[in-house]
Amino acid sequence: MSTVSTRRKPPRVGDAPLFRRSLIGIVFVLVAFVIIAPLVIIGVEAFSKGWQLYRDTVIHPDTLHAVMLTVLAALIAVPVNTVFGISAAWAITKFDFWGKRFLLVVIEIPFSVSPIVAGVAYLFVYGLQGLFGPWLDAHDIKILFAVPGIIIASMFVTAPFVARELIPLMQAQGRDLEEASTSLGASGWRTFFSVTLPNVKWALLYGVILCNARVMGEFGAVSVVSGNIRGQTNTLPLHIELLYHDYNATGAFAAASILALIAVFTIIAKVALERQGAGRVRKTENPAEKTS
């Protein structure tokens, strides 16, 4: 009769109760002091001098203009970057062409370049002394220190978000479904809308939410190209800085609470989409199972 020898498995890192509790405690302490505490302070300071002052700051014309300009930048930059991200992910994952690796590198550039550096680069492209500056000035076209510059800078810093959510998922899904669809006579657009897009819809929405949050909170690149003109080219983050420099700390916190609320709603939407499967690779359903 053979006996099966059982060997004790070596303990994993963190199996010790003391180590595990210490690690969890460190994480909770960091979350409390680095993430939760600033958000609590924003709410406390925003209402520190009463609801009336908070209301007056929020409905002030400069604050409302900053909010509307921020929303305008998001309404333009997010759809454009969504189309760009879908197109780039579709091209990279579904087709073979020269320059694919280069395109992947280019998409990652906004992640590695400081937003302020990007803003300065736009000065040398669209500024009066820049590459296209003299031509733009001769035709009375104003890009920098105006709304178009803010939108362009916002588009730059948020360009990779949708693409980087879609590319890993579409690579994992492969090309089998699209090839089967086209072999059955479906056109390219029909294949995209009936096969490709439904399989990536949650990741797409996930990327759009992150892109929108990044647009509304962008400071570095926009601060360089906007000119910080109060009531004209100030987005909400820039307006908060101006209020703080005017020694209006309560007003700055009141305006910052708007961005904090946007961040909270973004987190809620992000968690809801993650429950639906966005932000991670999911196993693609077999279309034969749907029709069976």
pLDDT in tens, 128-148: 888 888 888 888 888 888 899
The predicted structure's pLDDT at residue 244: 87
Model confidence band, residue 153 (pLDDT cutoffs 50, 70, 90): very high
The predicted structure's pLDDT at residue 276: 66
The predicted structure's pLDDT at residue 150: 92
The predicted structure's pLDDT at residue 75: 93
Average pLDDT, the chain: 83
In the numeric block, the tokens 């879609």 are attached to 166
Model confidence band, residue 10 (pLDDT cutoffs 50, 70, 90): low
Q: What is the enclosing helix (H) or strand (E) of 174?
A: none
Closest by Cα among 207, 272, 257 to 44: 257
Mean pLDDT over 244-255 rounds to: 86
The predicted structure's pLDDT at residue 185: 77
Cα 4 from Cα 18, distance rounded (Å): 33
pLDDT in tens, 65-80: 999 999 999 999 999 9
Closest by Cα among 161, 213, 218, 173 to 197: 173
Q: Is the pLDDT of residue 81 over 90?
A: yes
Closest by Cα among 237, 256, 193, 225 to 42: 256
The predicted structure's pLDDT at residue 83: 94
Max avg pLDDT among 100-104, 150-154, 256-260: 150-154
Mean pLDDT over 12-22 rounds to: 73
CATH topology of domain 50-284: MetI-like fold (1.10.3720)
Structure tokens at 67: 């909010």
The predicted structure's pLDDT at residue 13: 62
Q: Is the pLDDT of residue 164 over 70?
A: yes
Q: Is the pLDDT of residue 233 over 60?
A: yes
Q: Is the pLDDT of residue 1 over 50?
A: no
Structure tokens at 193: 């809308």
Task: Give the start-to-end residue ranges of the domains of the chain.
Answer: 17-46, 50-284
In three-state secondary structure terms, 96 is coil
The dihedrals phi and psi of 281, each to the nearest 5 degrees, come to -75, 130
Cα 210 from Cα 232, distance rounded (Å): 26
Structure tokens at 131: 């590459």
The percent of residues in the chain predicted with pLDDT above 70, rounded, is 88
The CA-atom distances, in angstroms, between 105 and each of 84, 112, 195, 206 are: 15, 10, 27, 22
Which DSSP letter does residue 7 get? P
Mean pLDDT over 254-274 rounds to: 82
pLDDT in tens, 197-227: 888 888 888 889 889 988 988 888 898 988 8
Kindly report the pTM of this predicted structure: 0.79
